[in-house]
A = this chain, B = another copy of it.
Amino acid sequence: MAIKFSVLKEATDSRARLGVLETPHGKIQTPVFMPVGTQATVKTFTNHELKDAGSEIILSNTYHLYLRPGHDLIERAGGLHKFMNWDRPILTDSGGFQVFSLGKLRTITEEGVEFRSHLDGSKHFISPEKSMDIQMALGSDIAMVFDECAPYPADYQYVKESKDMTYRWAKRCKEHHHREDQALFGIVQGGMFADLRKESAKELIDLDFPGYGIGGLSVGEPKPLMYEVLDELMLVMPKDKPRYLMGVGSPDALVEAVFRGVDMFDCVLPTRIARHGAVMTRQGNITIRNQPYAEDYLPIEEGCPCYACQNHSRAYIRHLIKTKEVLGLRLTSIHNIIFLIRLMNDIREAIRQDRLAEFRKDFFSEYKG
């Protein structure tokens, strides 16, 4: 087994769990937020800064690395860890979500997905088997099955057929995957339909994966609907396996999803909004790019230990963002990533003390989404 997951404590006031996930590149405390390093780099960060920020694992994107610099090049370099000199765990997605997001540039069949590169229009084909080959070449600690992520909204019949194909693809992935130092997670689909979600979960559980992604949420639906789906789904998810809610990273959703029993998250949100001059605080996001912050000499968030808050004012950071300076992106990115990692630390501490319900109440009394 490439990984070992241990639940250290189950909360009594919620479905939350405190755990440890052991991988070939080290241990991860869960619940965990994984910063996204799409192109073998978490945007603006060095690896040392990521470690200093407390990041125990990062995610990288199969689709992007397949196109540039190519999984074969990375394999020859000794794998993704060595190529980017990151010695902690890496999870790779399957490329599915990125490929489906290409819209008109792709065609889905039972065999796989044909698509044109968003970079140069060149034609490519990724099947479940090909996704496994790429991820095995990258050598991530955790690989994900190639799934179809149904759009929102989508009708019942479409979502059902998509979920069925996702199951058949998951089976093909499992049969093709053979790297022993890499764990392969299944992905539950089923859109916003509770019965399809449960069916999908049961089908995947039958295939016995060491962990399960929850895909197809946070794709445009209202947040309460996402929480409802999670409520239903969690009733059938195995307790002894990590549960990974894919693509979710807003502070409120992290609190709500951990409360419902999710262990892992990833999202480009913290670095994406950082590029637009928006920063996370316990009161909600602030767009320091805006005029009111032009002469605001407070830090982004009082008491925050990040480099930005310890060294610079909102006014200076606003100036850097307005003038498109790299340091501006660095400071807002570092603040946002550390904000989410600290939030997860606080959440884990609350579970440890079995007071997550109270933590959640306090959090939402302050947080204005």
Contact = CB atoms under 8 A, between A and B. Distances in A.
Interface of A: 39-41, 43-48, 64, 68-69, 73, 76-77, 83-85, 294-295, 297, 307, 311-313, 315-316, 319-320, 322-323, 325-330
B326 A83 contact: no
Contact of A311 (B43, B47, B77, B83): B47
B43 A315 contact: no
Given A40-B316, A311-B85, A295 B77 contact: yes
B320 A41 contact: yes
A83 B315 contact: yes
A330 B333 CA distance: 14
Contacts of A45: 327
Contacts of A316: 40, 83-85
Nearest to A326: B44
What are the 5 tightest A-B residue pairs by CB atom distance, in nearest-first order? A44-B326, A39-B323, A41-B327, A69-B319, A41-B325
A295 B76 contact: yes
A327 B83 contact: no
Residue from A68, A312, A319, A328 whose CB has the most chain B CB atoms within 10 Å: A319
A43 B325 contact: yes
B46 A330 contact: yes
A108 B49 CA distance: 48
Nearest to A308: B46
A326 B320 CA distance: 15
A221 to B, nearest CB: 31
B83 A46 contact: no
Given A295-B73, A315-B77, A44 B85 contact: no
A103 B230 CA distance: 62
20 contacts: A39-B325, A40-B316, A40-B319, A41-B320, A43-B325, A44-B330, A45-B327, A48-B307, A68-B319, A68-B323, A69-B322, A73-B295, A76-B295, A77-B297, A83-B316, A84-B316, A85-B311, A85-B316, A326-B329, A326-B330
A187 B200 CA distance: 75
A84 B331 CA distance: 13
Nearest to A78: B297
B46 A319 contact: no
Contacts of A85: 311-312, 316
A322 B43 contact: no
Contact of A294 (B43, B44, B73, B330): B73
A317 to B, nearest CB: 10
A229 to B, nearest CB: 35
A39 B311 contact: no
A33 B39 CA distance: 34
A44 B48 CA distance: 16
Contact of A319 (B39, B76, B323, B329): B39
A77 B294 CA distance: 10
Contacts of A295: 73, 76-77
